[in-house]
Structure 1
Amino acid sequence: MTTTSTRSAASFIALRPGFWRVVHPAGHVLGYIEEARAAGAHQFTARRLVSNTTRLVDVGDFWSFDSARACFA
C-alpha cells in the first residue's frame, strides 16, 4: 500500500501502518479507514466524520482497501 493515493476527489494519507485519513481536496477530513487482521484475513473498516462535529460513524467493513475507499468517492 502506498502512503498517499488519490482516487476521485479524496486523498488517502497513511498515518501509520493500517490506518489512513481520508481528505477532501479542499483540505477537510472526510473520515478514516483502518485495517484489521484476524485469522490471516485482512478487513478494512471505513468510518465517516459527521460534518461540523468530531463524531465518527461506521460505514462498514470490507475485504479490500479499494472497497473501503469507494465509500468516499
Structure 2
Amino acid sequence: MTITSTTSAASFIALRPGFWRVVHPAGHVLGYIEEARSVGAHHFAARRLVSNTTRLVEIGDFASFDSARACFA
C-alpha cells in the first residue's frame, strides 16, 4: 500500500512500501507509521519522535492507516 497524503496538521511521506514519515507543516519530523502484516490481517504501528531527540515512543497499533494518522492530528 502506497499512501502519501497531507492534512492541515501534517504530511505523510512514503519512504518505502509500508513505511511513512510524518512531517509537521513547519518541516520537522513528528514520527513514523509502519504497516505490519500478520496471518490474514495487517495493522499500522504509530511512533512519535520525542522533541529534540532521536528517541521514538510507541503510540499504538491500529487497524487502519487513517486511525494511525489521526494520532498526529
Q: Does the CA-based 8 Å contact 2:31-2:47 persist in structure 1? A: yes
Cα-to-partner distance string for 1:21-55 (whole Å, 9 max, x where unaligned): 00001100000000000012110000000000000
Separation (CA, whole Å) in 2 of partners of 1:44 and 1:3: 12
Q: Secondary structure at the match of 2:27?
A: coil
The list of structure 1 runs, each at least 4 consecutive aligned residues, that deviate by more than 3 angstroms after superposition, is none
Which structure carries more strand by proportion?
1
Match of 2:72 in 1: 72
User: Where does structure 2 lack aligned partners over 5 or more consecutive residues?
Assistant: none
Identity across matched positions, percent: 88
TM-score, L = length of structure 1? 0.94
Structure 1 regions of 5+ residues with no counterpart?
none
